[in-house]
Structure 1
Amino acid sequence: MGPIEWLRQRDAGLTVLRRAARTAVVMPIVFGVAFGVIRNPIVATYSAFGAFALLLFVDFTGPMADRVRAQVGLGLAGVVLISLGTLIAPITWLAVLTTAVVTFAVFFAGVVSSVLAGATTALLLPFILSSSLPGPPSAIPERLAGWGLATAASVVAIMVLWPAPVRDPLRGRVIEACHALADRLRDEVAGALDMPGGTQAEVEESAERAAAVIKALKHDFYHTPYRPTGLSTGDRALVRLVDELTWLSTVIAAGGPPGPVGPCRVRFGAAVALREGAELLESRDGDPAKLHHALENLRAAAHSVEDIPALRSGLEPSFRAQEIGFAAGAIAANIEVAALSERRTLKQRLLGWQPSGIGGPFAAARERAAAHVQGHSVWLHNSIRAAAGLAIAVLVARLTAVEHAFWVVLGALAVLRSNALNTGQTAVRAVLGSLVGIVAGGALVALMGPNRVFAWILLPPAILVAGLAPAVVSFAAGQAAFTVVLFVLFNLIDPIGWRVGIVRLEDVALGCAVSLAVGLLLWPRGAGRALNVALAEAYSDSAAYLRAAVDYGVAAGADPRAEAQRAAAAARRMDDAFRTYLTERGAKPVPMLDMSRLVGGVVGLRLAADAVLDLWSRARDATPGLTADRSRLRESGGEIAGWYVGLAAALTGTASVPEPLPPGAALPDPQAASPRLVWTGGHLDAARRLQPGLITPAREVAATASA
């Protein structure tokens, strides 16, 4: 295996290499201008760390114009934070309190804005640097000059130095899956609709290809060390598409023969919608009109099937077609969200505006924030822990009067992970890495002596290694490499030899101790426990939504919109907990495939509720009367929802995993009931069919919850 192949295995798309290489080029240049031309150590320090923040710790996505605007916006935010940090730095209690408030605000703002979520470290670094280094207000212009120099250089760098590609690996897999499922649906109905193709061999070949593509999609998403996803609205829509495409693949595989012409038209409409969605994803500036037209045709085909009494003998194929059509419609809607989100302005991205535009520009931001103001929100936990950890680090640095106090805070930020165990492991790695860096840096300083030329030559490769090592080697290697960079950098500014390494080790050790203490006190069990709770809430709220949707349809119950919103909020918290769980270091107590099945089960349960609500919102009797079929459906809805509530209790270790319900209990008599009642029973039966596949994963999660 060559070095490039080895690197690609650890750095998907070479994104880390791109950031590290840019920084290795730009940082020595801006530092050289500040130190050698301007001859101001403060400007040099802020330009160097500014280049780290603006180039190594953030990499905006989207069109180049949006990236430039985001980079400039980050620079302007840094101006505010540097000024604030400098003003509050002389007063210890004010510095501690402000650090807590600013850190919480920056971390929690990531719930609302993906732009802010991706720039958390880059935003905090200038504030930490300024608030940890007390100085008079007169120092603000020099500090801002260094930051401004780094900002200007970073804008030029992202435009001309290896610009980031627009496409990401997950997007390509999703496009491929849409095409493959569309081919399978089209081949299955080609004969019935007098279209070319559709032979048995072609159907089998397209089915095998679709299964292989879905398998590859799930493998890339769940089993790679660095998952191909980001934090933007479009990226989150793509994450949902992974679950929805997997669900659609399962529905198609279990659907049986396509049946009469009506259901075949629905399947063909689903195939067209998937293909148009894939093409819209392929072309970032494409027109969504074709996708809208395909969705209208799909809905028309599904509605026509609902109203044909002659299809009573073929209700099973027509229900399968309706189920496939609804799932394909949900996928197409998410594709539209992903496409439209990329066309938002920077202001809309910062405010968390959603492409639907429902409720005004701030409605989506309020909804996302409200979803995470819950005791079990991973994002809320991370925000509180980060605020407490950095505030305590500032206090410890002030009370101990250490040199370079910002290293204490940076050390706390670097090693603070989502649970105490991983924080402790990372703290050990940080100290050992710094120790190795001291030995290596001290040896280099001894070799360099007073010769600064050798130090300037060494600086770019040292920065490159420091940028690459945490991602492609290990966290400890990154700490060692960063320590070497600091040796070189500070010995260029003020040659004090190996003493800079001892100071670095002391400060990092203090920061590690703070992080470990905060992790133990505030969240000792990490994202694994939080994911269990988030899964339980998602199942419980989705079950309540399903029950309310059935009551709404068959018994003229209340509008289930409130239950739908609660289920959506719980699903968001589950998604964020799952993302954190996937990025945690260390072995996972529950196999990733089993955990993904539980996450996918929530998707299937919510889709069943959405389908029931969609079915009855178009045609609902005002006073239907509780016939035997309607009463049986209402009962079955309660039983199935109750089963999922029991599953939710088991996931938190407070009950045993229930046995799956027997088949057929939810289905009315197809010869006597109306199609909508039969299809409602079919959606309930789809929710019941999920149950056997959730038993084993749920038992494994329940075992970890009660351990």
Structure 2
Amino acid sequence: MSGTTARWAAALAETARSGLRVERASLTPLLAVRGACGVALVIGLTLWLGSATLAVSSAFGAFASGIATFQRSWRPRPELALAAAAGLSVSAFLGYVLAGHPAAFTVMLALWAFGAGMAWVAGPTPGVVAAFTVAMMLVVVTLPSSVPEAAQHAGIIALGGLAQAGLIVVFPVRRWGARREALADALAGVADYARRLREEPTAPFDPQPLVEAREAAAVTPRQARRRPRQLHGYRLLAERFRPVLASLADPVLGGAAREGPERDRVRALLAAAATVLDGTARAIRRGEHVRVPREALDVLQVPEDGPALPPGPARKAALRLIALSGEAVEAAQEPVEVTAVGHRPYLRRATGPGQLAVVLRAVRRELRPASPVFRHALRLAAVVATGYLLGGALPTGHGYWIGLTAVMVLRPDFSGTVSRGAARLAGTVAGVVVGGAVIALLGPGPGVAAGLAVVSVFLLYLLMRTGFMVISACAGAYVVFLLGIVGTNWSQTVPERMLLTLVGGVLALVSYGLYPAWETPRLRERLADWLTASCGYAVAVLDAYGTPGERHTRVVREALLDNRAALLEWEQATARAGAEPVRHRGLPRRRAAEAQAALTTVGRSGLLLEAHLPEPGTPGDPGAAAFAGALRDAVARAAPAVRAGAAPDWAPVHRALARWRRDARHPDGIALRAAELVTDALDELAKALTPR
């Protein structure tokens, strides 16, 4: 077996295992019941008051609107349901208007699919919902028989979304629950970091929980007025804990020695802080008061007769940790808003025209051949149009299943399309087979078929956050039962649907192989972005040492967020590249790992310095300011070199460091030692990127 074949086989085997995995902790039965009730409500009403075809239309709208509310989004769930229903209604009506003109319909279908592909620039939730609108255009246009009926079907589809939104408002389940979970995960992540620092003083920190907590904290003005008090302030406390914990544990830049009584005291402080953070996370998750063991609070006290705090910068970090822990406990007993200097009362989420402007700017940025989203949009448009034409040419009455399968399989990245897409395809085929067999054996009437569809959608909602193969099987069975309401003879068409599903899935997978969007060749670009961000963070902190002032607080914060975003982009890129069955060009995995270790050190040096930022008005360090300026200029030249495949030149940084050492006001200062660490790490980066 060749190396490429082995990589493909390994990727598909891992996908099969993950696609069948069901995690009981992720099940949400109450949400599943509510979503299934929304589907049952609209199907029952339309069957009673209307017809079977109207019931199918309403069920599609309620089903897709419910899917939208299960996606990871911080938008209000009723709004997601209504937005999904509106898009589904428009796509269904426009599709029917042109359905009688194959050439015009094909062009419109391709353009709509391209727009649905570009919707991924706004995030996974809009991308998934947009894919459903394309599926709706392919399926529902076969149901009406006149333009007035098409308008009626579009209105019924919107009614399905309205029903889901109404149920969310009338029967809320864990209001603010997702935001509670995000904030609690952030605090628990910092607590886990504190525990790992006890054994590994230079342990890495996973910023993903803090990133998600920040996204969850962004609210509209209306939400800000209704937000529980317990969700105020803790995220900023978690952010302030992180540099203090790292500085206290670090044995190089002012921390305690690696072994001895001082290190034992540091370990005790870290364990107590982790206990406080865990207790706070548990209380926020459950909406109750914080309970912290008295033993942990006793450790987090300035001792009188007990073990002394470590000396030097570590003592300063210990005192800050004790103060932060006290703030967390006090805020927990009487929830108050804890904000940083100059911080807005809340992070504002764009709404209405503001959100539309953000999305349009993102679309303009991605309208380029190298963009994975743009390539996905082109691929989706070509595959959906090809599937529609191919289905029309085949001697079947259900050719739209080719395009329907393809649009549900395709994703912008390799792992989402090929590996997970294979799971979706296998699950869909299994669902079609099971659903078709049930229809063929039982021959149910519209009412029984509708009941089976509701059971299928309940299982789908219940298992939404588990394996792709499982939920795809539920979705395939749901569509089969739904179309069974109109009386299709499935004893004759099950093999046909299976074949069309396989054709659509294979068409989608082949299209990615013919027009891929590999992440591997873009690793150097991602690395250059991270280099700029990590060094920008170090520059911001060193500038604060050079010229202390209030303005640096916000500058350092923004630089930290930029570095965090670039780090996550790099980690996601390397993860996607690792799953791709292609050879690394220009940046092998071993060299990429070495470069990652170097830039991690740069970011960590800035983090350690941030814990000891000088107070405004204190004398500055000219050497720190000069070094920061030299580093800023060197990075501006180094980033293009990294993108071009060349090694960066850090000679100006070395000269600035030498001048700082010669004229240093504090030869043993923490800022100078951090600058030395940064310079050594940049040398390691240059070594990793030098062609060998």
Please indicate the TM-score interval, normalised by the length of the shorter structure. Answer: 0.5 to 0.7
Q: How does 1:463-502 map to 2 (within 5 A)?
A: 463-468=457-462, 471-475=465-469, 477-502=470-495
Say whether the 8 Å CA contact 2:432–2:477 is kept in structure 1. Answer: yes
| 2:507 equivalent in structure 1 | 514
Identify if the C-alpha distance between structure 1 residues 134 and 43 changes in structure 2 by more than 3 Å, giving closer, same or farther: closer
Paired amino acid for 2:246: T
Quote the Cα distance in structure 1 between the aligned partners of 2:183 and 2:618: 37
Quote the Cα distance in structure 2 between the aligned partners of 1:606 and 1:370: 36
Quote the Cα distance in structure 2 between the aligned partners of 1:545 and 1:228: 17
| 2:301 equivalent in structure 1 | none
Matched-pair identity in %: 16
Identify if the C-alpha distance between structure 1 residues 615 and 43 changes in structure 2 by more than 3 Å, giving closer, same or farther: farther
Say whether the 8 Å CA contact 1:58–1:119 is kept in structure 2. Answer: no
State which of 400, 408, 416 in structure 2 corresponds to 1:414.
408
Query: What secondary structure, in the 3-state scheme, does the structure 1 residue paired with 2:40 have?
Result: helix
Query: What secondary structure, in the 3-state scheme, does the structure 1 residue paired with 2:485 have?
Result: helix
Say whether the 8 Å CA contact 1:385–1:518 is kept in structure 2. Answer: yes
Paired amino acid for 1:81: S
| 2:346 equivalent in structure 1 | 340
| 2:43 equivalent in structure 1 | 31
Write out per-residue CA displacement over residues 317-357 of structure 1, whole angstroms, 9 at most, x where no aligned residue: 89989999xx99xxx9899999834x64xxx345565xxxx
Quote the Cα distance in structure 1 between the aligned partners of 2:388 and 2:617: 59
Quote the Cα distance in structure 2 between the aligned partners of 1:374 and 1:603: 32
| 1:253 equivalent in structure 2 | 249
Shift of 1:410: 2.3
| 2:158 equivalent in structure 1 | 148
Say whether the 8 Å CA contact 2:391–2:402 is kept in structure 1. Answer: yes
Shift of 1:480: 3.5
Shift of 1:31: 1.9
| 2:100 equivalent in structure 1 | 90
Write out per-residue CA displacement over residues 224-248 of structure 1, whole angstroms, 9 at most, x where no aligned residue: xxx9959956489999999997666
Identify if the C-alpha distance between structure 1 residues 532 and 63 changes in structure 2 by more than 3 Å, giving closer, same or farther: closer
Identify if the C-alpha distance between structure 1 residues 628 and 659 changes in structure 2 by more than 3 Å, giving closer, same or farther: closer
Quote the Cα distance in structure 2 between the aligned partners of 1:117 and 1:228: 21
Paired amino acid for 1:86: Y
Identify if the C-alpha distance between structure 1 residues 257 and 417 changes in structure 2 by more than 3 Å, giving closer, same or farther: closer
Quote the Cα distance in structure 1 between the aligned partners of 2:624 and 2:599: 30
Larger RCO of the pair (alpha carbons < 8 Å, separation 6+):
2
Shift of 1:54: 0.7
Quote the Cα distance in structure 2 between the aligned partners of 1:543 and 1:551: 12
Shift of 1:154: 0.8
Mapped pair 1:175 → 2:187 = yes
Shift of 1:595: 11
Q: How does 1:571-610 map to 2 (within 5 A)?
A: 575=568, 578-579=571-572, 601=600, 604=603
| 1:14 equivalent in structure 2 | 27
Quote the Cα distance in structure 2 between the aligned partners of 1:690 and 1:657: 12
Mapped pair 1:40 → 2:59 = no
Mapped pair 1:535 → 2:535 = no
Query: What secondary structure, in the 3-state scheme, does the structure 1 residue paired with 2:497 have?
Result: helix
Paired amino acid for 2:184: G
Identify if the C-alpha distance between structure 1 residues 693 and 28 changes in structure 2 by more than 3 Å, giving closer, same or farther: farther
Say whether the 8 Å CA contact 2:392–2:399 is kept in structure 1. Answer: yes
Between 1:72-81 and 1:144-153, the stretch displaced more is 72-81
Quote the Cα distance in structure 2 between the aligned partners of 1:530 and 1:508: 33
Identify if the C-alpha distance between structure 1 residues 669 and 483 changes in structure 2 by more than 3 Å, giving closer, same or farther: closer
Between 1:162-171 and 1:147-156, the stretch displaced more is 162-171
Unaligned runs of 5+ in 2: 1-19, 220-232, 257-268, 288-310, 326-337, 583-588
Quote the Cα distance in structure 2 between the aligned partners of 1:695 and 1:161: 58
Mapped pair 1:80 → 2:73 = no
Shift of 1:520: 1.8
Identify if the C-alpha distance between structure 1 residues 242 and 522 changes in structure 2 by more than 3 Å, giving closer, same or farther: farther
Unaligned runs of 5+ in 1: 1-6, 182-206, 259-266, 286-313, 354-360
Query: What secondary structure, in the 3-state scheme, does the structure 1 residue paired with 2:482 have?
Result: helix
Identify if the C-alpha distance between structure 1 residues 251 and 444 changes in structure 2 by more than 3 Å, giving closer, same or farther: same
Quote the Cα distance in structure 2 between the aligned partners of 1:385 and 1:92: 20
Shift of 1:522: 2.4
Quote the Cα distance in structure 2 between the aligned partners of 1:632 and 1:231: 32
Quote the Cα distance in structure 2 between the aligned partners of 1:9 and 1:336: 46
| 2:454 equivalent in structure 1 | 460
Shift of 1:415: 1.4
Mapped pair 1:449 → 2:443 = yes
Query: What secondary structure, in the 3-state scheme, does the structure 2 residue paired with 1:102 have?
Result: helix
Quote the Cα distance in structure 1 between the aligned partners of 2:364 and 2:483: 45
Quote the Cα distance in structure 1 between the aligned partners of 2:202 and 2:607: 23
Say whether the 8 Å CA contact 1:173–1:217 is kept in structure 2. Answer: no
Q: How does 1:309-388 map to 2 (within 5 A)?
A: 340-341=346-347, 344=349, 348-351=350-353, 362=357, 368=362, 372=366, 376-388=370-382
| 1:52 equivalent in structure 2 | 63
Shift of 1:616: 13
Say whether the 8 Å CA contact 2:91–2:137 is kept in structure 1. Answer: yes
Paired amino acid for 2:78: V
Q: How does 1:296-311 map to 2 (within 5 A)?
A: none
Query: What secondary structure, in the 3-state scheme, does the structure 2 residue paired with 1:666 have?
Result: helix
Identify if the C-alpha distance between structure 1 residues 22 and 690 changes in structure 2 by more than 3 Å, giving closer, same or farther: farther
Shift of 1:496: 0.5
Quote the Cα distance in structure 2 between the aligned partners of 1:369 and 1:94: 25
| 2:173 equivalent in structure 1 | 163
Quote the Cα distance in structure 1 between the aligned partners of 2:87 and 2:509: 30
Query: What secondary structure, in the 3-state scheme, does the structure 2 residue paired with 1:26 have?
Result: helix
Paired amino acid for 2:23: R
Identify if the C-alpha distance between structure 1 residues 496 and 142 changes in structure 2 by more than 3 Å, giving closer, same or farther: same
Q: How does 1:232-247 map to 2 (within 5 A)?
A: 234=217
Between 1:665-674 and 1:142-151, the stretch displaced more is 665-674
Quote the Cα distance in structure 1 between the aligned partners of 2:454 and 2:654: 66
Shift of 1:509: 2.5
Q: How does 1:215-230 map to 2 (within 5 A)?
A: none
Quote the Cα distance in structure 2 between the aligned partners of 1:244 and 1:142: 56
Quote the Cα distance in structure 1 between the aligned partners of 2:668 and 2:615: 9
Write out per-residue CA displacement over residues 248-272 of structure 1, whole angstroms, 9 at most, x where no aligned residue: 64344224359xxxxxxxx9xxx9x
Say whether the 8 Å CA contact 1:50–1:151 is kept in structure 2. Answer: yes
Say whether the 8 Å CA contact 2:417–2:509 is kept in structure 1. Answer: yes
Structure-2-length-normalised TM-score: 0.63
Shift of 1:147: 0.6
Shift of 1:684: 3.7
Say whether the 8 Å CA contact 2:630–2:652 is kept in structure 1. Answer: no
Query: What secondary structure, in the 3-state scheme, does the structure 1 residue paired with 2:70 have?
Result: coil
Paired amino acid for 2:600: G
| 2:148 equivalent in structure 1 | 138
Paired amino acid for 2:65: L
Quote the Cα distance in structure 1 between the aligned partners of 2:113 and 2:95: 12
Shift of 1:441: 3.2
Identify if the C-alpha distance between structure 1 residues 629 and 50 changes in structure 2 by more than 3 Å, giving closer, same or farther: closer
Quote the Cα distance in structure 2 between the aligned partners of 1:643 and 1:398: 55
Write out per-residue CA displacement over residues 105-138 of structure 1, whole angstroms, 9 at most, x where no aligned residue: 4443454578745744455444454567786423
Identify if the C-alpha distance between structure 1 residues 110 and 452 changes in structure 2 by more than 3 Å, giving closer, same or farther: closer
Paired amino acid for 2:529: E
